[in-house]
Structure 1
Amino acid sequence: MEMNIKLKLLATMVAAALTSACGSDTQHTLTPVVNPVSESVEGGEGHTDHEHTEVSIEGRLVISSHQSNVLSVIAAKDGEHLESVGITGYPQYLYATEHHRYVMAVQRDAGIVEFVNGGLWQEDHGDHLHPYEQAPSVVEFALQGVKPTHVNAGEHNSVVFYDGDKDTNQNAQVMVFNESNIANNNRDFATLDYSTYQHGAMQTVGEYLISTIRDEQSLSTLPNKIGLFHGHGDHFDQEKEFEVDCPSLHGSAQSSELVAFACADGIVVINTHDNEFTHEKIMNSEEFAEGERIGMLRGHPEKDLFIGSSRAGVYAIDPRNNSLEKIEWQASDDARLVGAYFSAEGEHFVLMDSAGVMSVFEGHQHDDEYHWEKAHNITVSSADTSKMPEEHGFVMTLSQSQQVAYVSDPINQHIVAIDLESGEVTRTFELDIVPEKLLWLGIATESDEHGH
């Protein structure tokens, strides 16, 4: 049965969050959640093995509102408002770190990436994984560079690509760090410093970084080559440049042992098995229209395939068969694709269009070929989309612990939870704010989605 839970984001809480926004080294004073695990420091040290708690597997949702520096955190189970957390400025993007403990709040225009602890995480205690739960809070660790844009998380770390700036002659950078750095405010991580600006993309593989290279003589901000870089302490050294052209490169993703980059004329796939780093290129198929190219890629750590999208469609990319197969999906009239993600276990792939229609696909293997078949089409909102607030749209985030998608509806000021197996709306959380960005945080299952 659908539940409607009214979230009261009290003005006093928002005011407190605003006045305590970052800019100093002090932490927020927060009221603990029910039955928190005792701890002495951010990372969880200081506990005893006898301290256990029932931690919600549903996780938490982080919600931003337009031009606001306050992030609201609610329980994904019942919509209970947990905290309003103030950061320095308005974040254009929200991403999760590698184990979904922290929000990476990207303030691109200001060149700042701040981090908010969602309050749910677990640690390996040898014979068991110990869960922790506390109130959400901003942390001291923050990053600064020029135009942080592409952000993703691998199996063991998170990565931010800074584009640099052509007009001010500032160079691009890549910073690779992990949740331990964030928890301990530890700046001991590796940075790749470029000698030019570029709108780049990157993926990490163990100690290696596979990242883009731009010809400094090019008139475009987009790169056209891919390099392999090896981490050494606080920096990366280039080991090689892959001998393959990737014109107007935009978008990358990672699967089990493959890394893919989207080019104007196809997909470069790099095999990382045993750190051999070989490559091949899958060319665009004949059905591509003139000027059509894939610009977004998604991967999953238990799949050897990718999903990519262009202006005209969505494609299944199968490197084993060197194929690009168009998926039978079409956006609603006058709508466009606004979200595309693998589910936690990789059993589903979910598409969202700007009219508020979600399409859930199930994957099926037939001999050596993998196909996606549409299982559900769900209209998230029946509201007139012409009433959508300016600068807003439907935003989707997927749980990494359950087969559940959450979609924000700015028109009706609520969030709906959708069961991916049944295709049914199971919960609705009503808000006192107009939601803009939405992100799931919590303790993920072993599988994890990668790609940007």
Structure 2
Amino acid sequence: MQNSRTIVPLAVALALSLAACAGADDEGTDATGAAPAAEAPTAQGPAAGRPAGAEASGAGHGAIDGAEEVAEPQLHLVSIDSDGAVGMVNLLDGTVSGPGAIAPPSAVTSDGRYLFAETGEGVEIVDSGVWTWDHVDHFHFYRTSPRVLGPVAGSGPVVVSTSANATTGGTGLFFPESGEAVLLDNQALSRGRIEEVFRLETEPHEGVTAPLGGGALVSSVDDSGAVTGVRFHDSAGAPVDGAAAPCPDAQGAITTRVGVVVGCADGAVLATLDGDEPTLEHVPYPDDTDAPRATDFRNRKGRPTTAALAGETGFWLLDTREKQWWHVPTAEPLVQVSASDDADRHVVALDHEGRIRVFDGAAGTEIAATEPLVAAALADPDSRNGVDLTVDRERAYVNDPVGGVVHEIDYRAGARVARSLDTPTAPDFYAETGR
């Protein structure tokens, strides 16, 4: 398996990273758009551009006992078959491993390190053992042994919302059938333990538990059972006075470079932290469109712009720095969209025919498209739910449960299919980790 990514000598890269905090991403900029200097929090507020929920100190740059810091991201594909067998393939050298098995999954969500698999009895967590620590203007890369961490009890489907970094903050689980809102401790997960920060009982509803700092935004309902808003709960699960906002029919959440987004029927709530103080701001939809609302937000991890489907009309883009929405119509209906978030607001999409399409969101034009790659999987109700699109800085990935491969697409170069990768287990579900 050919490695198309540049490998920097380990000793040189680590010396630069630790001594000078070099290696900024092409978009590691502050809210003004300028490249920041080394992070320097002040008493007046958080460092500009710090990922929501990240600690001001960097918390040891994401290091944990027993983990090795390395020179480049340890990108892996983690595949889970319909029976729950888990396999991993290293995208750098092609080596494979098998960390274990879980109960048969029905859906999988990932934050770039962990896989949260919905099962018949709750959520099972797989730690891929590879992650990237985002320190605003630079990154640190780690690896340790992968393992299956175990289950979190819950009833029915689950909505999973993740944080910016895998070793701080939390991961939110919301079980609509029971109304239980659960916040998991990411620091404990990074040490191999499943610990609940809180578990709240609410009325059953379609809602969210969106992690922010040491607590989370939880959707709230009125006396009639309608979802009317979101409220910030601290690490004890207690609602914080003054930290609530209207958000009718709250659905969908994502953590961006700027803060936490929760989708609402009339736009979104953008939540940020100033020290430990949460601020919740309404970002309304533009007045000149009646396109269907956004509910499933996706982006290249840690970027300020996020994309979401606008029904079959096209997609939405939300820039959380500018606090502005754009509706981009498309000629073909889409299945999934993800913002890759460069200067041209590029978006990578999967359409109903199984093609990967690349759009210039600023111009509203299509740049490139593949041939159909996962048409049979999308046409099959048994496999459709497992098909997933992931975008990193250089590549996009989409799994084909019917064909038994994961396609790697160079979306920056004409949507070229760079590789079609075999995985150790059938890729009925998958995630790219190490991001």
In the superposition, the TM-score normalised over structure 1's length comes to 0.68
Using the alignment, how far apart are the partners of 2:94 and 2:430 within structure 1? 13
Q: What is the Cα deviation at residue 277 of structure 1?
A: 0.9
Counterpart residue identity of residue 101, structure 1: R
Gap regions ≥5 residues in structure 1 = 4-42, 364-369, 445-452
Partner residue of 2:289? 287
* Structure 1 residue corresponding to 2:84, chosen from 69, 72, 85: 69
Gap regions ≥5 residues in structure 2 = 4-62
Q: What is the Cα deviation at residue 151 of structure 1?
A: 0.9
Q: 1:278 to 1:196 in 2, by over 3 A?
A: closer
State whether structure 2 residue 398 is matched by structure 1 residue 425: no
Whether contact under 8 Å (1:2, 1:427) holds in the other structure is: no
State the identity %: 18
Whether contact under 8 Å (2:85, 2:425) holds in the other structure is: no
Aligned partner of residue 196 in structure 1, secondary structure? coil
Partner residue of 1:150? 159
Partner residue of 1:338? 335
CA deviation profile, 1:163-182 (whole Å, cap 9, x unmatched): 253xxxx4422223104335
* Structure 1 residue corresponding to 2:235, chosen from 216, 231, 238: 231
Using the alignment, how far apart are the partners of 1:55 and 1:302 within structure 2? 20
Q: 1:373 to 1:58 in 2, by over 3 A?
A: farther
Whether contact under 8 Å (2:170, 2:185) holds in the other structure is: yes
Using the alignment, how far apart are the partners of 1:255 and 1:104 within structure 2? 19
Whether contact under 8 Å (2:231, 2:245) holds in the other structure is: no
CA deviation profile, 1:376-414 (whole Å, cap 9, x unmatched): 222242x764995441137234364x4111222234322
Q: What is the Cα deviation at residue 123 of structure 1?
A: 8.5
Partner residue of 1:209? 216
Using the alignment, how far apart are the partners of 2:304 and 2:423 within structure 1? 39
Whether contact under 8 Å (1:285, 1:324) holds in the other structure is: no
Partner residue of 2:351? 353
State whether structure 2 residue 368 is matched by structure 1 residue 376: yes
Q: 1:299 to 1:391 in 2, by over 3 A?
A: same
Taking the TM superposition and a 5 Å limit, the aligned residue runs for 1:79-118 are: 79-83=94-98, 85-87=100-102, 89-97=103-111, 100-107=112-119, 109-111=120-122, 113-118=123-128
Instruction: Give the number of equivalent residue pairs.
Output: 364
Q: What is the Cα deviation at residue 314 of structure 1?
A: 0.5
Counterpart residue identity of residue 78, structure 2: V
Q: 1:432 to 1:355 in 2, by over 3 A?
A: farther
Q: State the Cα RMSD in Å.
A: 3.7
* Structure 1 residue corresponding to 2:65, chosen from 45, 51, 56: 45
CA deviation profile, 1:177-206 (whole Å, cap 9, x unmatched): 10433524253x421413422221132222
Q: What is the Cα deviation at residue 359 of structure 1?
A: 1.7
Q: 1:416 to 1:171 in 2, by over 3 A?
A: closer
Partner residue of 2:11? none
Using the alignment, how far apart are the partners of 2:399 and 2:245 within structure 1? 43
Whether contact under 8 Å (2:87, 2:423) holds in the other structure is: no
Partner residue of 1:436? 428
CA deviation profile, 1:226-279 (whole Å, cap 9, x unmatched): 1122223xx3333236353x3322112233334333222333344545535142
In the superposition, the TM-score normalised over structure 2's length comes to 0.70
Q: Which segment drifts farther, 344-353 or 251-260?
A: 344-353
Q: What is the Cα deviation at residue 435 of structure 1?
A: 2.9
Taking the TM superposition and a 5 Å limit, the aligned residue runs for 1:238-387 are: 238-240=240-242, 242-244=244-246, 246-273=247-274, 275=277, 277-283=279-285, 285-288=287-290, 292-298=292-298, 304-311=304-311, 312-318=313-319, 323-331=324-332, 336-343=333-340, 348-362=346-360, 374-381=366-373, 385=376
Q: What is the Cα deviation at residue 162 of structure 1?
A: 2.7
Using the alignment, how far apart are the partners of 1:58 and 1:46 within structure 2? 16
Q: 1:251 to 1:330 in 2, by over 3 A?
A: farther
Whether contact under 8 Å (2:74, 2:131) holds in the other structure is: no
Counterpart residue identity of residue 153, structure 1: T
Aligned partner of residue 298 in structure 1, secondary structure? coil
Partner residue of 1:17? none
Higher CA-based Rg:
1
Whether contact under 8 Å (1:2, 1:428) holds in the other structure is: no
Q: What is the Cα deviation at residue 313 of structure 1?
A: 2.3
Whether contact under 8 Å (1:96, 1:439) holds in the other structure is: yes
Using the alignment, how far apart are the partners of 1:420 and 1:207 within structure 2? 36
Counterpart residue identity of residue 96, structure 2: H
